[in-house]
Amino acid sequence: MAETHLDATERDWKQTVRVYFTPVMLSMLVLGFASGLPLYMVFQKLSFWLRDSGIERSTIGFFYWVTLSYTLKFLWAPVIDRVQIPGLHKLLGPRRSWIVTAITGTVIALVIISQTDPSAGLLPVAIGAILLAYSGATLDVAIDAWRIESAPNEMQANMAAAYSLGYRVAYMTSGLGLAIAGWTDWNWSFLAMASAMALSAGLVFLMKEPATGEARRALSGNFAVKVGKAVVEPFRQMLGRLGLWFIPVLALVAIYRLSDFTMGVMASPLYSDIGFAKEIVGGVQGGPGLVATIFGLFLGGVAAFRFGLMKALIIGLVITFVTNGAYAWLAATANAEDVWKLSIAIVGDNLAGGFVTTVFIAYLSSLVDPENAATQYALLSSFYGFFAKFLSGFSGLLADAVGYVAFFAITAAWTLPAAALLVFVVTLGSKAARGEHRFAERRTGDARADSPEAATGPTGEPADPPEKG
């Protein structure tokens, strides 16, 4: 079947919207939910439960360390790329077999936690939390690889939007878990979340396994050769493709979302210091704020699909600059009665956050070869996550030193070096640095099977079904 590729400027709005209703997007929504729920349960609800059980805040703080698994996941990503799960591999394929295995780990962990009592002893809770965190991080790696391999570059922003929406559904579901704990107890809450994850695993059996270079990922030879293929080759391949542009690309990855991360740490303290009631803040965040986030996610996908990824990245920095600046305005002018100003700040920030989440994930995905998707994407996402989170730890010191108004002005200004670096990459960078390298794996008809362009041939007639890989 001949490939029918449309440039971003050639797509009409009907095609832009229709892409969200393809089977691969619905699958991505489910996988986004499965990816998000373990993190929200271990990061938020577990801490709530421990404090509810009378555990000291200092002890609860140590439990946060289990989330380091999400930063260190690149260490075992080569295993996910290369090692086959006995039995499941033949039944589901390399990606779905790892997804089901990781989800199974989260189900077991949630069941373990549901049978513990923190007031009687923390060791069983810690074992369950560690298993939940590492299974969740492993699930992230496998799902990222599935997403990258299941759609071409021009659809990665849409995939990121569906993925992020699934994450938001997981956030709301974890809130339901909190309500269940109030209606019954925490044990039933964790069992309910385990059931939700088990349902996600069942739905994975109905999804399509991407047809990619599994044969080229197969390990053969002696131990040294296997280590080279699994660990060294993915990094050598990325360096070879990007060349000297690897350095500015890595710098762009590190600072693109720095404004978001650093300002977000001080947003809640600002609300408190101004005097906004917790109920008001929660209502704005859970109502119009949530709607703005969802709209921003899909707006980012539409912008990238319609206008191209690099233009969407530039738009993302512009709206981040404006919405970060809105917090400086809020700090300078608002009092506890100015709920409308609070709403403008939160809605704007959530809209921008959703937009840049979509386009940034799409850019990271465009840099990754499907042949080594798990390893390469885990490296990039871990690097930006670690760098931004590390610097965010100094946000309180900066806010204390300069005050809220100057602090949010500074975080807004951090978009400027990112914008300069992005313009440099766009104007002078190689195709690989701009995320425009056309990997062989993504040029196949099978990889494009669920895209709008693949649904019809060049004349609008139904296209031939893709060949099975």
The residue assigned the tokens 């079947």 is 1
Identify the band that residue 225 occupies on the pLDDT scale cut at 50, 70 and 90.
low
Distance CA 13, CA 311 (A): 17
371/409: higher pLDDT: 409
Is the pLDDT score of 199 beyond 90?
yes
Among residues of the chain, what percentage have pLDDT more than 90? 29
In this prediction, residue 451 carries a pLDDT of 42
- pLDDT at 449 (0 to 100): 41
pLDDT tens-digit profile of 1-40?
Answer: 334 444 444 455 566 667 777 888 889 999 999 998 888 7
**What confidence score (pLDDT) does residue 227 get?**
58
Helical H segments across 205-308, by residue range: 214-217, 223-227, 233-242, 246-255, 258-274, 278-284, 290-307
213 confidence band (pLDDT: 50, 70, 90): low
Domains of the chain: 8-453 (1.20.1250.20)
Quickly list DSSP for 66-100.
GGGHHHHGGGTHHHHHHPPPTTHHHHH-HHHHHHH
Partners of 456 in beta bridges: 462
Q: What is the pLDDT of residue 198?
A: 96
Q: What is the rounded average pLDDT of the residues 174-180? A: 77
Instruction: Decide if pLDDT at 269 tops 70.
Output: yes
Predicted pLDDT of residue 226: 56
pLDDT at position 458 is: 29
List Cβ neighbours of 339 (8 Å cut-off, separation of 6 or more).
276, 280, 284
| Arithmetic mean of pLDDT, 279-296 | 83
* 178 vs 441: which has the higher pLDDT: 178
Alpha-carbon gap, residue 448 to 151, rounded angstroms: 6
Quick: pLDDT tens for 420-460: 999 999 999 888 888 887 776 554 444 344 444 333 332 23
pTM over 0.75: no
Q: What is the pLDDT of residue 319?
A: 95
**Which whole number is the average pLDDT over 340-352?**
92
- Stretch 314-343: mean pLDDT: 93
Confidence band, pLDDT 50/70/90 cuts, at residue 57:
low
pLDDT tens-place string over residues 60-95: 767 767 777 887 888 888 888 778 888 898 888 888
